[in-house]
Structure 1
Amino acid sequence: MTGNEVFRQQIKQWIDEFERGQLTKKSLYTGLEKFEQAIPQRQDLLYLQTSGTSLSSGVHGILLVENGQVSEIPSNPDDWPYQSVLEAIKDGWHVIQFPNMALLMDESRTYGLGCEFILEKRASGF
């Protein structure tokens, strides 16, 4: 059953219960639970490469995935949506992965990925 069918069926049930004088608070909550289960969730991801492990470290690389698509990011860092991980958190992003300390660059070596934070936002299909 699609989300629209779930909504339509539940609303018709509520109307019928209302017309019979049998609409209850419990029935409304039960219907809301059905809605929540029928609403597809979307996960957006934000990858931020920073100069350090602090949430306030400056961002020097960014990748944004929205609606399953890589979003276009301005080439000028001053125009990026976030200049630190903390700014992204204040905008509703949730950190799901902190930098892997084993991958940090070291002055005596020429390899490493630096500090990458991965953040997510979940949104309903509405």
Structure 2
Amino acid sequence: MKANKVFQQRIKQWIEELKRGELTEASLHTGLAEFNHIEPQRQDLLYLQTSGTSLTSGVHGILLVENGQISEIPSNPDDWPYQSVLEAIRGGWHVIQFPNMALLMDESRTYGLGCEFILEKSTNAL
């Protein structure tokens, strides 16, 4: 269970115990002990440069950061783990930044690397 859900459930329980006059020091210590067993989360990042703003646009640049390290990506685009942003989403990634439309001077032409999507995936750090 994710840490945020555990915290929310435990705090709601404490509020109810407090309302009933049943909140004890032992209950608080038990909850604190549970929080110590929650596995820390790690954020992995995936940068995808695409030819357009659509989630189905082809990927022409990729950078993957896992475990705080830049991962090596095959040089052949056919061997990349994702060929579109939509494939990455289906693989469990969450988009945290869409392309900045202000940087596209003409929607029919892209400049530089084109459109960059940034995605994240949270995994257990241990």
Is the TM value for this pair above 0.5?
yes
Secondary structure of the structure 1 residue equivalent to 2:45: strand
Provide the secondary structure at the position in 2 that maps to 1:74. coil
In the alignment, residue 51 of structure 1 is paired with which amino acid?
A: S
Amino acid at match of 2:125: G
Which structure 1 residue ranges, 5 or more long, are not aligned?
A: 1-25
- 2:35 is equivalent to residue 33 of structure 1: yes
Deviation at 1:125, TM superposition (A): 1.7
Name the count of aligned residue pairs: 98
| Contact 1:103–1:112 under 8 Å retained in 2 | no
Q: 2:89 aligns to what? A: 89
Is the Cα contact below 8 Å between 1:50 and 1:57 reproduced in 2?
Answer: yes
Residues 108 and 34 (structure 1 numbering): CA distance in 2 closer, same or farther, change over 3 Å? closer
Identity %: 80
- RMSD of aligned alpha carbons: 2.5
Deviation, structure 1 residue 104: 2.0
- The 5 Å alignment of 1:45-124 reads 45-104=45-104, 106=106, 111-124=111-124
1:102 deviation in Å? Answer: 1.1
TM-score normalised by the chain length of structure 2:
0.67
TM-score (norm: length of structure 1): 0.67
* Cα deviation digits, residues 21-66 of structure 1 (max 9, x gap): xxxxx79x83433322xx3321110000001111111101000011
Gaps of 5+ in 2: 1-26
Q: Give the distance between the partners of 1:115 and 1:68, measured in 2 at CA.
A: 24
- In 2 relative to 1, CA 57–124 (structure 1 residues): closer, same or farther, beyond 3 Å? same
